[in-house]
Amino acid sequence: MRLLPPESPALGATLAALGDPGQLWSAAGLRSLSAASSLYRARNTEHDAPYWRGPVWLNVNFLALAALEHYARVRCCGLLGLGLGYMVAP
């Protein structure tokens, strides 16, 4: 997940989707597919469950947390370079 550069305008929308209960956020963690998607919980066939489309998967959550930590560090270092490090909690 750290595919977007920190200055990308798409990063804000991605972060918003992560925290949106109608999209990826759930009480159990991040969904592997947006709840707004037409494929969310759609079966592959009559006897083939949707598998990764909807349930919370630990690997997706781990990658998202690692990316959030990366962006926090990059942003923190950028703010420190601008003399704005006081804005970032230790």
Separation between Cα atoms, residue 84 and residue 40, nearest integer Å: 42
Q: Where are the beta strands (DSSP E) in the chain?
A: 25-26, 29-30
What is the reported pLDDT for 77?
A: 59
What is the reported pLDDT for 59?
A: 86
What is the reported pLDDT for 76?
A: 62
CB contact at 8 A, 54 and 42: no
What is the reported pLDDT for 81?
A: 47
What is the reported pLDDT for 87?
A: 43
Low-confidence residues of the chain: pLDDT under 50: 79-90
Which residue is associated with the tokens 């709840």? 35
pTM for the model stands at 0.66
Cβ neighbour number for residue 24 with a 10 Å cutoff? 22
* Dihedral of alpha carbons 38, 20, 76, 59, sign: negative
What is the reported pLDDT for 54?
A: 57
Which residue is associated with the tokens 């947006």? 34
